[in-house]
Structure 1
């Protein structure tokens, strides 16, 4: 019976051949070393995401989730509680709030590109992507300068894989420090209200919304860390995809109206969010496999978005592909809350990067990959232009 090595260098360098083989030979694959059931086909992932009563998020949507967030956050609740939380949090993630941070992004990017003009090479992750996107996220959340710096330092430890490729996103000590930092910010924000997500959640709580302090902190932690892990890795993935496909890059450079298509195709073709977890509430059968109640499932979004039975020529990167159902931003009740924020930020960033970098080159031999099943991206990505 076919087995797959989900901790090898070959897998982390390029998981898509493994996913293709999974879909063909073991579309529902039980991995004893992780105690996870992997769903790789488009139809099965859609089925799981559309049936939250059977495939529940209530035990957490991370492969190894923390009791401190389970049952308190968007990703670790099912409807109707999930929908209630989503309505509250959406008040702080409006198009108007996103627009407020875009001038800072443009100015900060311009300053960084100016500083690099004579050097003409950098580590794209540590010198552009991470500080730029984390700075923008910190401003949307309303973190003070000192808290933002500390949160950024802690976020660099996300998905290190030190407890294995299916381990916790952060170790216990780092997670406790994030919670302490956000609890301090919550106390400060009760006195000093600002136009940010913290203040929106406090106002909702004071207006009678069923939202405790632990839930505010847990949801702020989720937005902070998930935002850093997803968009923070997606921009380097996008630059890598365009480098791998110079014909597509040339088209975008020549016609910036193709930016939206490039963003959408990149998040389908090589998403930073490779999978999320669910737990079965009852026994079920999928692809001829009997899955017991209480099983932990990894829904392989990245594999489903490359399923050739659902998306024509799915392994091809094509910026004018048009609208297809992919999972780069999720699907169903748990569709990514930050999708519009991500798109808006990247629209502001990508044209300026391509103009400045031109026909850039990536030193893939010296790049360092993330080694975790949930996230695909780079810890370091040397780039020259």
Structure 2
């Protein structure tokens, strides 16, 4: 078993689920448990200045072994996993020499990973896959990225004959709740540019991402005995349903792809008395993104007029499309493209249908495009990752370092 796979299997045993409703930094203290162990591992590998600050941000340095001056490159991944599904007691399963058929993840619960629903599985016939057991996520987003970065810098540290410039490593908390760059000290990190290793399928190279906002809605109802409720009861759950149904049904994640934006209902909890809804709003086009927020405000305004100001709306921007910050230094994308070609991977330059710490960091002065991890179906029980894709991700990181050292 390769080092990167061993590391990945170790990291996914840590429950690092973040919490969008928490006001602490990081949002969950259990992220710090993994963080402390990662710092010790970085020190053991031989990196300098390995530390975790009070907010859970890890940084470390592999000094240059060159006499000449070359760019300082950062590699960044996040420690937390999605709050949408459990990341506790992850039980990874291996599928050796995948035959192209259905993979039974959990026989008892009839959870099946099938190429009829996920046709990209057919690309991995004959490969080894790591899957969930059908009850949790896997955690490749982004513990695969951590394992890949860690394995690459270890390889450089134990092979001083490989020439490289200064390499910076950064591991962040709370990316999944849109706060991964909130307390990232760009000045302290001190890199000329960086790459997040936080993408999906092998070959993905991304420097465009969604503009993103989070939406919190609280509806206050009035509970009255149903036998005498006429003209008195205000059923907050029904108002919540009405609001959801007022949004365009085809502008949801399940109906969109590529550059198409959406409204995504993440959670709906409530009863007659009180209902809470959580949405995310996404679009690559900034003007359309702003209009989507206005549309949400108008829906709430309309329902408040109808029911008497019972809805409280909060919209918070999370990050913006990094394209405008990457294009002036496009060489960092071009070099990653070349690196993939040189290690036998066909690059796929695609827009991120999501976000990454790199989006925020790019706007804070650290241009940061995104590299693949190799994983599929993040944030759910159908998540999986081919082992060879993780190994290739390590190769890409090493090749990028090599190209900038020339």
Specify which structure has the bigger relative contact order, considering alpha-carbon pairs within 8 angstroms and separated by 6 or more residues.
1
Normalized per residue, the structure richer in helix is 1
Q: Which structure has greater strand proportion?
A: 2
Give the TM-score taking structure 2 as reference length. 0.24
The alignment's TM-score, normalised by the length of structure 1, stands at: 0.25
